[in-house]
Amino acid sequence: MGHVQDRWWKEVKDPVTDEVTKVKTSLYGQGLRYKVRYLGPSGVEKSKSFPDRQKKRADAFLIEVESTKLEGKYVDPKAGKRKFKTQAENWIKAQSPDAASREIIKSRLNSRIYPTFEDMPVGKIKPATIRDWLGALDDARLSENYKTVLFTIMSSVMDSAVEDKLIIENPCKAKTIKRPMSVSPDIVVWPEERVMDIEGAIDPRFAIACPLGAGGGLRQGEILGFSPDDVDEEGMVLRVQRQLRTIRGTLVFSPPKGGKKRVVPLASGVLTAITEHIKLFPPVEVTLPWKDPEGEPVTVRLLATGENGRLYTGDLFHKVVWMGAFREAGIKYRGRADGMHALRHFFASVLLAQGVSIKELAEYLGHSDPGFTLRTYTHLVPSSYERARLAINGVFGGSQDHGLEAA
């Protein structure tokens, strides 16, 4: 059990009368008066000092320390002095093993979190601090989705501080904190004519992007990293095995998003498009590091490259090739609705219209969670009300005349 030491006074016992009296120490009037001395969970003595006239605070601190030790919630008061950035850099090490994902996290920390919290001790970050920061994000007019991402990072770093016993509670989880909520906008599905118009207007060297995206559901990086060697004509499937991406300014090959390779059904029309593209633009052998700029070199025959085998980063491809197709076709570019993901949305809408299940679609799109696929495309799932009515009428003998015929 700890105790509170009065550094200014000490008790002296008279050797004759055994009477105890208080006398001033040599430290009287110097420095902090009360020193709380206690043993930490590891058995090492700890202490914390308080000024004159704050004996009640010292007693309360000792009671709190002993209580948290009994509850297994003890946190060394000095531990909270660790700077937020130091804790965040340690937290990043346990995040995604994917180098590009870590780069994105670091970028978000640098742009919107470190300016407020970088040099702040984690123990000094209170709910009020979080509320002020969220208010600043609102003032910056950031999207709800981006604010949600930033808040998730912030809360995760503070969770790690709790786990490391630097702080007792995560201030992001206080009752007075209103967590930002992401919004999932309805997907805008292109009509078939728009797909054909863009395919006809895009640089011919990259025209294969439309069949691969709209006919195979490939992402931009997967299209740029696709090889004719990934085509299985016998099984009539595409093997999506890699993507082209940028890590610390260097182009690399890496597994598809989430490290999830997949197999996609190959339509005969898409196979024809690939075959015709190869006749016009033979595949180019490209050697790049695998997963990381320092990774092992890997050589792949790429289907879509620029003139003389030029490689495009995703950002450059979007600005020069993709948006260039809209300019060439005379079609107004509508931002998010006209990003390359529109090709995947078209692919998903066609499959759902033909009765492909959400579980199958999730596999073809490379989603690890079919629930995410359902939430994204739920408004595209054809209504089954009439099929349900007909099925129930088959049991209860109801009329078959009402409504539309079964699809």
Q: What percent of the chain has pLDDT over 70?
A: 95
For 259-299, what is each residue's pLDDT tens digit? 889 999 999 999 999 999 999 999 999 999 999 999 999 99
Rounded to whole angstroms, the Cα distance separating 104 from 87 reads: 18
When the pLDDT of each residue in the chain is averaged and rounded to a whole number, the result is 90
Q: Are 251 and 297 in contact (CB under 8 A)?
A: no
For 312-357, what is each residue's pLDDT tens digit? 999 999 999 999 999 999 999 999 899 999 999 999 999 998 889 9
| Predicted structure pTM score | 0.70
Q: What CA dihedral angle connects 100, 105, 110 and 116, to 10 degrees? A: 180
- Give the orientation angle of helix 99-108 with respect to helix 144-163, to 10 degrees: 100
Q: Tell me 186's DSSP state.
A: P
Query: Alpha carbon of 286 to those of 249, 257, 277, 302, 307: distances in Å?
Result: 17, 21, 18, 7, 13
Q: Are 29 and 87 in contact (CB under 8 A)?
A: no
Q: Tell me 35's DSSP state.
A: E
Enter the tokens of residue 251: 């182009």
Query: What are the structural domains, with CATH classification, of the chain?
Result: 3-74 (no CATH), 80-173 (1.10.150.130), 192-380 (1.10.443.10)
Q: Does the pLDDT of residue 180 top 80, yes or no?
A: yes
Beta-carbon contacts of 348 under 8 Å, excluding residues fewer than 6 positions away, are 187, 217, 361, 365, 373, 376, 377, 380
List, as one string, the DSSP characters of 104-168: HHHHHIIIIIHHHHTTSBGGG--HHHHHHHHHHHHHTT--HHHHHHHHHHHHHHHHHHHHTTS-S
CA distance from start to end of the chain: 77
pLDDT band at 186 (very low <50, low <70, confident <90, very high): confident
Q: Are 124 and 161 in contact (CB under 8 A)?
A: no
Q: Does the pLDDT of residue 128 top 90, yes or no?
A: yes
Q: Are 303 and 225 in contact (CB under 8 A)?
A: no
Number of alpha carbons in the 13 Å side-chain half-sphere of residue 160 = 18
Enter the tokens of residue 373: 């696929």
Element (H, E) at 353: helix 341-353
Q: Does the pLDDT of residue 401 top 70, yes or no?
A: no
Enter the tokens of residue 74: 């003890």
For 350-393, what is each residue's pLDDT tens digit? 999 888 999 999 999 999 899 988 888 887 877 656 666 677 77
Rounded to whole angstroms, the Cα distance separating 207 from 199 reads: 5
Beta-carbon contacts of 174 under 8 Å, excluding residues fewer than 6 positions away, are 127, 130
List, as one string, the DSSP characters of 41-94: TTS-EEEEEE-TT-HHHHHHHHHHHHHHHHHT----TTGGGSBHHHHHHHHHTT
Enter the tokens of residue 363: 């596999």
Amino acid, single-letter form, for residue 243: Q
For the chain, helix, strand, coil in percent to 5 are 50, 15, 35
Q: Are 374 and 359 in contact (CB under 8 A)?
A: no
**pLDDT, position 398:** 56
Q: Tell me 179's DSSP state.
A: -
